[in-house]
Structure 1
């Protein structure tokens, strides 16, 4: 690893998406990430279907590249002791268990901070570390509902709709990554680690951004607005003769371009639509008029006319179209990883490009316990100790552990 975080050791005690996504991002940029998993079962998402060649869940694979897997029984004194030893030699710990869940193993902030004052301890929970619901569990769907996101998603007058993406989980994982990096920078000056505390709740509340501000300013409770925005009837999807097209004419210049593209120049100065405020007041009528104008012709026709008039527009691409887009390929946003014995797996690529210290996909998602022995040797354990702990069930060893089993690099 030669990225900007090379030399940093990260311990991840995470499951599903939020914690693993944060730790994977750190690993993409060069950190040595050791993922602690349960003996026998591992991260819950390993077993979630569908599976890649019957061996690894795609969900797990999407959030666990650039990591080494160590299988431990944290409920056993010996397994917990191994985890503490690893954490005491680490720079960063990332977990997304319920608040207090790791305390029984001595992996809580207070215990580890006392043993390793330089440790940056990042907790991603459902509700955050304080407050009356701090110790309650939550997941992506739950938090999309609780934090209000589902109340503004879907068609007007329809039922609640979940965002297709895991926005609560991944949003919290992104914020956690930012928090860890700020704590690393602070440690450069102070020499001390600190606790980074974020949650699915806080991630969703921050994403609501202007909705929250607008509510407090107006007192109006926003609802769903379908494919568009309540503040702009010219910022939404419309049905063409063969498929849907998104139009995002969000200023006065684009409004004029839209009217020209639709052959409706009389709308430009129509008193119902002549400025943004009037268009919002008469939004339903304008949406119907635009829809009627769009309906007779195919998407390609409207793409040509709208772009000629400098109006942003786009078909609603499915994943098969997106992943074959020349721009997506040019930005290297489809990565291919060789899984030993299973073949290639393709996934989303690296979203941040650094000119001097770029990210890299060096390791494929690991098998459960693939690196237990390797990591323990690095921590000073003798072969006899490793075999004894394995025999007691405190640790889990992947077959081939004696050979070190070096995986192939990603492409």
Structure 2
């Protein structure tokens, strides 16, 4: 007998998706790697209809396979089509899809979309309401515009590796692909702005960002230290660049983070630590003085904090209103009661894995409950139905398949 429960569950999920804020929007997803898919994941999780367009024989660079941990985390809630954009018939089919799309997202090298004739000018001529969104390594114009870029290259070029890690240890990358993720987040924000504008003008817009722009933006106050005072920040390890004490301190069992640099928090911290005498030291009365004498301040605090276990200090400091917290490994993150309360894990159905854990959207909108409506699409899994929806007849679709323009 057919598994009616599975079909009922899928129908229920689709119905729930129809009530989400982005329901009714159609997105053509031409992205690969991580930055572009990060953007599209926001749209997918909040109800947009995503059509992932892949070339014949596609494989993703992440995770090693379509059932790898990266691919499953990035490509849930989508349908998939295989389409050869280099073939005239494949190009024509894509143009037909673009005529009814609201958004196209891509993160090819700048010149590739023009070579394939799927750039904004080409598509918007057929669909003036289209919002076309791009991520590149270094920008759509300028001397580096034709270069390919990856996250770590942008970390280096954008200054992050010179302010990460301990002094004297040499450049250090951040442990997550921060520019891929930030660029994807920013592009999703740009799409929302363009959608809002379209409500007023009736016309779409070309929006873009890059890994380098994302990284320079993320330098934040470290950048303005230079722009306003000429200060070139260096590596500060686990310490805050300019505030003391704020960093990692030992306890009897494991290190903890403590942030007590403001005048009020410093005074409270000294009393909780049982070291009111620190308040009388002239050189430690200001945050500037404590930062100048940071090694001595940190050493003095460490002598106190290592006498009790981490839970003792976290309880005492929290009661006193001092920000603090444990330093968790990844397993401990997902065992944390607050993380579990927040429901940061979704389970997605997967053809070969059965169920796969992925990280849920971090966005919360009162009255809406996003979730998994679809698992990860197989390569070209929905090619025929997507083209049929675009108006192609059965014979046309069969011809495209025979000519290997589509797959799945």
Q: Give the alignment's TM-score, normalised by structure 1.
A: 0.92
2 CA distance for matches of 1:285 and 1:325? 33
| Deviation of 1:43 (Å) | 3.3
Tell whether 2:37 aligns with 1:7.
Answer: no
Structure 1's consecutive aligned runs of 4 or more residues displaced over 4 angstroms after TM superposition are none
| Deviation of 1:243 (Å) | 1.3
Residue pairs, 1:280-295, within 5 angstroms: 280-295=291-306
| Deviation of 1:297 (Å) | 2.7
1 CA distance for matches of 2:253 and 2:91? 59
Helix, strand or coil at the partner of 1:102: helix
2 CA distance for matches of 1:353 and 1:297? 38
2 CA distance for matches of 1:43 and 1:72? 15
Tell whether 2:44 aligns with 1:33.
Answer: no
What's the counterpart of residue 384 of structure 1?
A: 395
Q: 1:363 aligns with which of 374, 379, 403?
A: 374
2 CA distance for matches of 1:333 and 1:376? 35
What's the counterpart of residue 296 of structure 1?
A: 307
1 CA distance for matches of 2:292 and 2:307? 26
The answer to whether the 8 A contact 2:244-2:287 is kept is: no
2 CA distance for matches of 1:38 and 1:44? 14
2 CA distance for matches of 1:11 and 1:393? 21
Residue pairs, 1:198-277, within 5 angstroms: 198-277=209-288
1 CA distance for matches of 2:356 and 2:298? 43
Residue pairs, 1:72-221, within 5 angstroms: 72-221=83-232
What's the counterpart of residue 11 of structure 2?
A: none
The answer to whether the 8 A contact 1:241-1:295 is kept is: yes
The answer to whether the 8 A contact 2:67-2:352 is kept is: no
Deviations 1:88-118 (A, max 9, x none): 2100000011112112221011111111110
Moved more, 296-305 or 96-105: 296-305
2 CA distance for matches of 1:113 and 1:130? 20
| Deviation of 1:84 (Å) | 1.8
Relative to structure 1, the CA distance from residue 325 to residue 336 in structure 2 (aligned partners, 3 Å threshold; closer, same or farther) is same
The answer to whether the 8 A contact 1:70-1:396 is kept is: yes
The answer to whether the 8 A contact 1:17-1:170 is kept is: yes
Helix, strand or coil at the partner of 2:223: helix
Tell whether 2:36 aligns with 1:19.
Answer: yes
1 CA distance for matches of 2:171 and 2:306? 27
The answer to whether the 8 A contact 1:84-1:106 is kept is: no
Q: 1:337 aligns with which of 326, 330, 348?
A: 348
| Deviation of 1:341 (Å) | 4.5
The answer to whether the 8 A contact 2:37-2:75 is kept is: yes
| Deviation of 1:306 (Å) | 1.8
Helix, strand or coil at the partner of 1:101: helix
| Deviation of 1:62 (Å) | 1.1
The answer to whether the 8 A contact 1:334-1:346 is kept is: yes
The answer to whether the 8 A contact 1:120-1:195 is kept is: yes
Unaligned runs of 5+ in 1: 398-411
Moved more, 183-192 or 26-35: 26-35
> What is the aligned residue count?
391
What's the counterpart of residue 68 of structure 2?
A: 57
Q: 1:71 aligns with which of 82, 89, 97?
A: 82
Q: Which has the higher helix share?
A: 2
The answer to whether the 8 A contact 2:244-2:261 is kept is: no
Deviations 1:180-224 (A, max 9, x none): 000000000000001001111111111111111111222121011
Tell whether 2:332 aligns with 1:315.
Answer: no
The answer to whether the 8 A contact 2:67-2:353 is kept is: no
Deviations 1:263-286 (A, max 9, x none): 211112311111212112212221
Helix, strand or coil at the partner of 1:187: helix
The answer to whether the 8 A contact 1:11-1:35 is kept is: yes
Q: 2:317 aligns with which of 277, 290, 306?
A: 306
